Each structure stands twice: as structure tokens, then as C-alpha cells.
Amino acid sequence: MASEETLIVDCDTGIDDALALLYLLGDPGVRIGAVTTVFGNTDPETAALNTLRVLELVGRSDIPVAIGASHGWRGTRHLAPDVHGADGLGGTNLPAPEAAPSTEPAAELIVRMARQDPGAVHLLAVGPLTNLAAALQLEPELPRLVKHVTIMGGALRHPGNVTPAAEANISNDPEAARIVLRAGWPVTLVPLDATMTEAITEQQRRQLAEFGTPVTTFTAAILDQYLDFYARHAFGERKAACHDPLAAAIAVGDVEPLLAPVVPVDVETGDGPARGTTVADLRGQYRGFPADEGANVRVVLRTDGTFGARLVDRLCGREAVARGAA
């Protein structure tokens, strides 16, 4: 990650958001300036408490956590207790965190930090995009102030995961997603096309449990329900997609995509069966980047399939040990 960058992580802290935060917090070279929460995997208040639990686990209670939108642009929301548990963290029912969330609303925090340090803020959004759309309404100049936006969301050539064509983060607020993707700032989109090919397995979950640190024990515990869900509904075996952690790794430059064209992207906001579909013109993907006039989003379509092992190594602290030995 560029040393001058400050991450604001906008998330709906369920299981894979927690993994993404732990991945980032495991690298002392990554500067997280704040975390903002939104509805999605759980409600934004629970997401904020879960975030504080993760931060306290690694001694980073200094990072502010701000609560954001509780519903989408149209006033609707869909939560995912079947995937992430009623508490958002796999039904582990952890004690309440000692710290409390900030009283500053998420969108206002995003705008304030971008104004304070123009060109330094990198927004990493791994939930519905309602907070980012609200921040754009508060500050129309935000695209000029923000360095980059990385989004986990969408499905292009891959099936959706909440409808045949729509992915959950985009589907939860298509209007906000359209606003964000059309805002004119540099965007990297990490859709299901990439994240469903990067998995963490039951064997790796056991490795984490056996490693026995507070971080790995916590991670193994929250992964138990997550792997069950994916075994029943996706893979037929106990392994789970690395959605948010992969987006985090791409945001800080740890994973270099194998295919990531810059193409025009839009979102279907109608009321029919295609609502929430991410529409990308991929016809020019092999002609060089950017491909066409109107190309506005770098879309990650393929990575190398080895991220699960990298994630486990990071959570176990093995990368840091290796760097120290070198």
C-alpha cells in the first residue's frame, strides 16, 4: 500500500468483513483511518459493535468506528443472518466491546476526512454503497478529494448470489451503487467473478484453530457457520468464498489481478427481475485498458486462486515472520 494512503473501510461487519479487517490490521504498513458501517450482513449498529470487537482483539481501539445507513435509497433493506448468524459473527455471541462507536455519522466522517487530507483517502467499500452515495450528496467534490475507491460487489459473467444476476451488496441498494459507479472517481470493482474463485477451506479453518492465537481462534470460530452455509448453498463442501478479504488485498496492492479491464459499468435500478444487476461492457476487454469511450471502472475478473493460503498466513502472522527473517 502506498505510504501516503489512508484507508476508510466501509463495511457491514459480518464474517468476511471481519476477515478483511484482520487481514489489513495484520500489516503495519496499512493505515486505517476509520471504519464506517452500513446495513447488509447485519444492521449498522451491530456491525459497528462487531467492528469494535475486531479492533479490540488486535489492540487497535484507536481507530474510530462510525455508524451509517440503516436502509437503502428506497427505504428497504435485506439482512443475512442465515449466512453470518444473528450476531453477524457466526453465532459466537461475543461480549460487548469496551469502546463505543463515534457519534459522527458515517457519511459526514467520510467527507470530513477527505477534506482534511485531499488525495490521500482510499475508500474500501465491502457492503452496500449507501454511505458512499450519501457522502457524495453531502460533498459533490468528493470524487476530486478521494484518491481511489475499491468496491467488493457485482457479478458480471458470474451468476448473482441473491438473484440469478444480482450480487448482495449491489442488490441491497442499486440506486446508491449507480450513484457511486457514475461519480467519476477512479474505481476498482471486485465482483463475484473473482471472489468466488478464492476460497478458504475447512482444512485451513482447522489450521487457524490449531495455531491458537487470539486472532486465529476467533477466526476459526466465526468461520464455522460460514463454511456450513457455503457447503449447503454453493460448493457442496466446507469451504467459503473470500469476498471482502480479497477486495482488501487488492486495495492495498497485495494481490495483482490476472485480468482487470477498465470498462463502462452501470447498475439496473428498475423493478423487474434484473434489478441490482451490474452491467459491464466487456466487449473490449482484450484490446487493452481502458477499452472504450465511457470506460470508468477497473473490473477484477480473474486472480490466481491462491488467496486462501495467503489469508491464513497473514492471520497466523507468518508473513511478518518471513519478512523479519529476510
Q: What is the mean pLDDT of each run of 10 residues along the chain (326 residues)?
A: 83 98 97 98 98 97 98 95 96 93 98 98 98 98 98 97 97 98 97 98 98 97 96 96 98 97 94 96 66 78 97 85 37
| pLDDT for res 2 | 55
pTM (2 d.p.): 0.95
β-strands 121-125, 187-190 pairing: unpaired
User: Does the active-site annotation cover 243?
Assistant: yes
| pLDDT for res 323 | 39
Q: How many residues does the chain have?
A: 326
Residue-by-residue DSSP string for 227-282: HHHHIIIIISSSEEE-HHHHHHHHHTTSS--SB--EE-EEE--SSSTTTTBEEE--
Domain map of the chain by residue range?
6-325
| pLDDT for res 283 | 79
Nearest-CA neighbor of 277 among 124, 168, 126? 168
Instruction: Match domain 6-325 to its CATH number in 3.90.245.10, 3.40.109.10, 1.20.120.920, 1.20.58.220.
Output: 3.90.245.10
| pLDDT for res 320 | 46
The 10s digit of each residue's pLDDT in 9-32 is: 999 999 999 999 999 999 999 999
**Torsion sign, CA atoms 272, 274, 278, 281:** negative
